[in-house]
Chains A and B, each alone.
Chain A
Amino acid sequence: MSGSGTADPAGARAHARAMAGTRVEAMPTVPATAADDRPAGVAPDAMLWAETIAAGGYAAKRLDRGARLRLVDLHGDACLSTLVFNAERPIERLNVADTLKVQWNAYLGAGRLLLSDMGKVMLSILEDDAGSHDAFCGASNALSNARRYGDGDNWGAHPNARDRFALGVAKYGLGRKDIHPCINWFKGVRVGHDGATEPQIGPFAPGRQVTLRAEMDVIVVLANCPHVLDSRPEYIVTPARALAWRGPPTPVDDPIRNATPEGLRAFLNVEEDLRR
């Protein structure tokens, strides 16, 4: 076979190197300091991560305490299912039930906290102009995608969020048992009369975003697959942008830290854990 010039290593190398500089929508910006969509007021050298997550794709990132993470629903149909682990001890992880129960509320939005299973705050929500998120319905799986789209495999056209998570956590040495109940950003679920779930699927206006602050060193795993209650017959999901930048740890007079007695104790428990 010839024609592509790849019959010998030198030709294959030249062929591979000729791809350099290719730009597609779903890709990381490396280095992140070169991202042209830095948030206002963020210096280039403060940027930690800039990646556009593909429709059906996933990403995982370690962020230090104080880092900000902004998730952007670029085109209005992203659904970012999210796992969170304590980067120092990944056996500590997001607990969705405690997150709702401790805050006495079913819905996530600005000022709310994501709590671990060890009584600590992992992330706080600084800003949110989406207002439609979901702590109830979790990740799609191979069976649910197969029912709706014909298949749900990682190697096919309709990946499911759970199997995306399995790949994301594996790259941090974690396995299937580490995939815990998740949060879905951008696609919402409200609880109606008599417990009925009311999905908010959109599509929404492009550019909605939520900004989080890491309250401990965390590993965040994101899967961008159609919401499990998205009833559209087609596999509809659009790319999402993740932007992270360095920031100061939360000061003691922070309004979110002090907003509720339960939340304050979640911050105190983190601060106590970090006392060295």
Chain B
Amino acid sequence: MTTILDEIVPARAPWDAVVRKGQTLRIIDLEGNQAVDFLMYALADDAERYSAQDTIAAQANVFLRAGATLLSNEGRAMVTITATSVDYHDTIGGACSCESNTLRYGHHTKSQHACVENFLQANGRHGRGKRDMVSNINWFMNVPVEADGALGIVDGISAPGLFVEIRAEMDLVAVVSNCPQINNPCNGFNPTPVRMIISA
């Protein structure tokens, strides 16, 4: 394996990179329980993008685990989770936004930085915009669904140094928000850096 890229994403920051078919991206939760909000787009046609709903339907499960194939909105494989040291990852909780923060916590949180802001900034560098926001993946985030449907972001199940590794099944653009949320336990109330390693 040759390392193509090895970068630290600072706490609260956006990040994006091209991952070619066959390459792997390893995301390391350096300090533990840091939600990494993640979207991806087909490099050839960014109207084709990650679809949480297609992925859930195809694997008949809401959690993302090792071995999962993550699908596009056209039903095609985008990446496979080749390994992870965390039991499962979330794809139903979505990304925090200034606007949804006003609902969840109150209008006093509207000025706080949020994942949608990061996604808009990172995508905006490449001509994508708000229409390119869809339900995302939250690596290292824990959103259980209870028997009565109760659902919520709760204390994480990750820890310092745990990781997830995905292999690209098509050429794609990965876009990340290293989640800045401080009003729920998705980052242990303390956003921290993560490490991104692309290998071929």
Residues of A within 8 A of B (CB): 91, 95-98, 100-102, 104-107, 115, 117-120, 136-139, 141-144, 162, 175-182, 190-191, 194-197, 228-229, 262-263, 265-266, 269
Option from A101, A120, A182, A191 in Cβ contact (under 8 Å) with B53:
A182
* B149 & A107 in contact (Cβ 8 Å cutoff): yes
If the complex has contacts A101-B104, A162-B73, A177-B47, are A117 and B131 also in contact, measured as CB distance less than 8 A? no
If the complex has contacts A105-B151, A265-B107, are A181 and B99 also in contact, measured as CB distance less than 8 A? no
User: How far, in Å, is A105 (CB) from chain B's closest CB?
Assistant: 5
Q: Pick out which of these stretches binds chain A: B11-19, B132-140, B157-165, B189-197.
A: B132-140
* B57 & A229 in contact (Cβ 8 Å cutoff): yes
Most buried by B among A105, A119, A144, A262: A119
Chain B residues within 8 Å of A178, by CB = 131
Taken together as a complex, chains A and B put the C-alpha atoms of A101 and B94 apart, in Å, by 8
The number of inter-chain residue pairs (CB within 8 angstroms) is 138
Chain A residues within 8 Å of B131, by CB = 91, 177-178
* A269 & B102 in contact (Cβ 8 Å cutoff): yes
Identity of the chain B residue whose Cβ is nearest the Cβ of A176 in the assembled complex: B47
Taken together as a complex, chains A and B put the C-alpha atoms of A120 and B99 apart, in Å, by 8
Q: Does residue B88 face the partner (Cβ distance < 8 Å to A)?
A: yes
Q: Does residue B21 face the partner (Cβ distance < 8 Å to A)?
A: no
Most buried by A among B57, B92, B99, B116: B57
Taken together as a complex, chains A and B put the C-alpha atoms of A119 and B109 apart, in Å, by 12
Taken together as a complex, chains A and B put the C-alpha atoms of A120 and B100 apart, in Å, by 8
Taken together as a complex, chains A and B put the C-alpha atoms of A182 and B73 apart, in Å, by 11
If the complex has contacts A104-B151, A144-B75, A191-B62, are A138 and B94 also in contact, measured as CB distance less than 8 A? no
B interface residues, how many (CB within 8 angstroms): 46
User: How far, in Å, is B155 (CB) from chain A's closest CB?
Assistant: 16
Residues of B within 8 A of A (CB): 47, 51-54, 56-58, 60-63, 73-76, 88, 92-95, 97-104, 106-107, 116, 130-136, 143, 145, 149-153
* B130 & A91 in contact (Cβ 8 Å cutoff): yes
* A119 & B53 in contact (Cβ 8 Å cutoff): no
Taken together as a complex, chains A and B put the C-alpha atoms of A104 and B93 apart, in Å, by 10
Identity of the chain B residue whose Cβ is nearest the Cβ of A197 in the assembled complex: B60
Identity of the chain B residue whose Cβ is nearest the Cβ of A145 in the assembled complex: B75
* B75 & A181 in contact (Cβ 8 Å cutoff): no
* B62 & A265 in contact (Cβ 8 Å cutoff): no
Taken together as a complex, chains A and B put the C-alpha atoms of A100 and B95 apart, in Å, by 12
* A98 & B56 in contact (Cβ 8 Å cutoff): no
Taken together as a complex, chains A and B put the C-alpha atoms of A117 and B199 apart, in Å, by 35
User: How far, in Å, is B185 (CB) from chain A's closest CB?
Assistant: 13
* B57 & A137 in contact (Cβ 8 Å cutoff): yes
* A177 & B132 in contact (Cβ 8 Å cutoff): yes
Chain B residues within 8 Å of A194, by CB = 61, 63
* B57 & A97 in contact (Cβ 8 Å cutoff): no
Taken together as a complex, chains A and B put the C-alpha atoms of A72 and B145 apart, in Å, by 29
Taken together as a complex, chains A and B put the C-alpha atoms of A179 and B153 apart, in Å, by 26
* B61 & A195 in contact (Cβ 8 Å cutoff): yes
* A197 & B56 in contact (Cβ 8 Å cutoff): yes
* B76 & A143 in contact (Cβ 8 Å cutoff): yes
* 14 further interface pairs, Cβ-Cβ under 8 Å (given A102-B104, A195-B62): A95-B100, A98-B97, A117-B99, A118-B99, A119-B97, A119-B102, A141-B54, A141-B73, A141-B74, A194-B61, A195-B88, A197-B57, A265-B103, A269-B102
Taken together as a complex, chains A and B put the C-alpha atoms of A194 and B153 apart, in Å, by 16
Identity of the chain A residue whose Cβ is nearest the Cβ of B110 in the assembled complex: A119
* B100 & A102 in contact (Cβ 8 Å cutoff): yes
If the complex has contacts A97-B93, A102-B100, A191-B62, are A139 and B47 also in contact, measured as CB distance less than 8 A? no
* A262 & B62 in contact (Cβ 8 Å cutoff): no
Complex A-B: 24 CB contacts under 8 Å: A95-B94, A96-B53, A97-B95, A97-B136, A101-B93, A101-B104, A102-B103, A119-B97, A119-B103, A136-B57, A137-B56, A138-B52, A138-B53, A141-B54, A141-B73, A178-B131, A181-B52, A191-B145, A195-B61, A195-B63, A196-B60, A265-B107, A266-B103, A269-B99
Taken together as a complex, chains A and B put the C-alpha atoms of A152 and B155 apart, in Å, by 42
Taken together as a complex, chains A and B put the C-alpha atoms of A197 and B56 apart, in Å, by 8
Taken together as a complex, chains A and B put the C-alpha atoms of A194 and B61 apart, in Å, by 8
* A105 & B94 in contact (Cβ 8 Å cutoff): no
If the complex has contacts A195-B63, A229-B60, are A106 and B151 also in contact, measured as CB distance less than 8 A? yes
